[in-house]
Structure 1
């Protein structure tokens, strides 16, 4: 089962070039959209203390929740919301939650997928980032539509 990536497209502005928009307005809207989706993702992570397979990651120390950030691209027409590796993480913890870890499984030089034998030490968790965008997609569309309309004036 492939894991989906999040992508959102706003229709109606395809005929314009990037130079036709006021970048300050677009960057402000992208920051607002990033804040909205980041807040929803942080809510999904911290529902309860523990988690099991197929659930959203639980909140223990809050490292994963604090690591979710957003960045607006330099041109300002894209926002990226993702968990980052922070200084207090020994390893990139979100990767272990995403892919899971099997007991006794080791990756060789080829980095092929782990063997299907053995029990899960950490089972893969639900994709909280994609679900956060899907839950707040209408809000993001509204924010961006208003900003693009304002940026054309």
Structure 2
């Protein structure tokens, strides 16, 4: 598996910038994008299923997160988006909680009426910063997990580039 330090969820294929969209057979481009979407989706599902609990990936208990990973080709056909989506089996979209994590303690809210200073009911100077610092020191309720989607794209980057180069070359109208 690749390193999850940076967020590299975007891949650009060089060499076709000088052409308009109309210069390509969109049916062939969409077919290539579906092929790439299936490849990266399968890799992301495999990363999650086999790496669960290890390598910083979330553990798969019910398989709902694995089943939620899907791809969608854009209307124009020149973009494919691969991501977990909220399914009916999820009460909340928890892949976001798994990736970003959840801190212990609640964030500072507005003061109750009459608890602050003055007519505007404001906190004392430095009190909010102290609350934020105390929350930061509490630690994680749910620790952030590695981005298995970015790792899947990084792992299949060479295959994706090869497939898309061939697709764009074949789809170029004469």
Q: Aligned residue for 1:124?
A: 144
Alpha carbons 1:47, 1:59 under 8 Å: kept? no
For residue 132 of structure 1, give the secondary structure of its aligned residue in structure 2: helix
Count of aligned positions: 147
**C-alpha separation in 1, matches of 2:7 and 2:150:** 7
Alpha carbons 2:104, 2:141 under 8 Å: kept? yes
Alpha carbons 1:102, 1:121 under 8 Å: kept? yes
Runs of 5+ unmatched residues, structure 2:
111-131
**Would you say 1:85 and 2:86 are equivalent positions?**
yes
Runs of 5+ unmatched residues, structure 1:
none
Deviates more, 1:90-99 or 1:20-29: 90-99
**Would you say 1:12 and 2:10 are equivalent positions?**
no
**C-alpha separation in 1, matches of 2:49 and 2:108:** 31
Counterpart of 2:46 (choices 43, 47, 59) is 43
For residue 15 of structure 1, give the secondary structure of its aligned residue in structure 2: coil
Alpha carbons 1:26, 1:77 under 8 Å: kept? yes
**How many angstroms does 1:3 deviate by?**
5.5
Q: Which is higher, the Rg of structure 1 or of structure 2?
A: 2
**C-alpha separation in 2, matches of 1:126 and 1:71:** 23
TM normalised by structure 1 equals: 0.88
- Superposed CA deviations along residues 5-30 of structure 1, whole A, max 9, x for unmatched, are 41101111111100000000000000
User: C-alpha root-mean-square deviation of aligned residues, in Å?
Assistant: 2.1
Q: Aligned residue for 1:104?
A: 105
TM normalised by structure 2 equals: 0.78
Deviates more, 1:131-140 or 1:100-109: 100-109
Judged with a 3 Å threshold, the aligned counterparts in structure 2 of structure 1 residues 105 and 17 are, in CA distance, closer, same or farther, namely: same
Alpha carbons 2:57, 2:147 under 8 Å: kept? yes
Alpha carbons 1:98, 1:125 under 8 Å: kept? yes
Alpha carbons 1:48, 1:59 under 8 Å: kept? no
**How many angstroms does 1:152 deviate by?**
1.0
Q: Aligned residue for 2:157?
A: 137
For residue 116 of structure 1, give the secondary structure of its aligned residue in structure 2: helix
- Superposed CA deviations along residues 1-57 of structure 1, whole A, max 9, x for unmatched, are x861411011111111000000000000000000000001001111255x27x6111
**C-alpha separation in 2, matches of 1:81 and 1:97:** 17
